[in-house]
Amino acid sequence: MDEATLVDLIKGTLEDWRKFFEDPLKYARLIKQVVCGFDPEARVILFGSAAKGLLKPSSDIDVLVVTSLAEDLHSRVKLRIKVKEALGHVTPIELHVVTPREFQEWYSRFLDVYVEV
């Protein structure tokens, strides 16, 4: 049996990730669906190069979840795990889970282009 090289593994990963790059909003909506199962008031925001339409193979896809559940570390981690289970554990999604306060004090300062789902 042939062994896969590192290059083969990277190529395979990039091919698996193609679907995320072709429609990042679709996956942001899936994240919203998962998150709203725990907090119907949560906000999900696509930002960064995906929101700007500037994705390239080396990009990640930034998705911000703003929820009061993030106040509790256990709930924050649980939410991240549930999203990973829905999307797959190895994806180009960079998931940011923050409280409304963290959003106001940090993220709202630099989000110039974004899409709220």
Q: 1 pLDDT exceeds 60?
A: no
Residue 80 domain-assigned (yes or no) = yes
Q: How many domains does the chain have?
A: 1
CATH number of the CATH domain containing 59: 3.30.460.10
Residues 57-90 pLDDT 10s: 789 999 999 999 999 999 999 999 999 999 988 8
* Terminal CA-CA length for the chain: 46
Residue 1 domain-assigned (yes or no) = no
Helix (H, G, I), strand (E, B) or coil at 24: helix
Q: Which string of b and e fits 34-70 if b means at least 16 CB within 10 Å?
A: bbeeebeebbbbbbbbbbeeebeeebbbbbbbbbebb
Q: In this predicted structure, what is the pLDDT of residue 2?
A: 65
Find the Cα–Cα–Cα–Cα dihedral 29, 49, 23, 36, rounded to 10°. -10
Domain limits at 95? 6-116
Higher pLDDT, 2 or 79: 79
Lowest model confidence (mean pLDDT) among 34-38, 48-52, 55-59, 102-106: 55-59
Average predicted confidence (pLDDT) for the chain: 92
Residue 109 domain-assigned (yes or no) = yes
pTM equals 0.87
Higher pLDDT, 114 or 1: 114
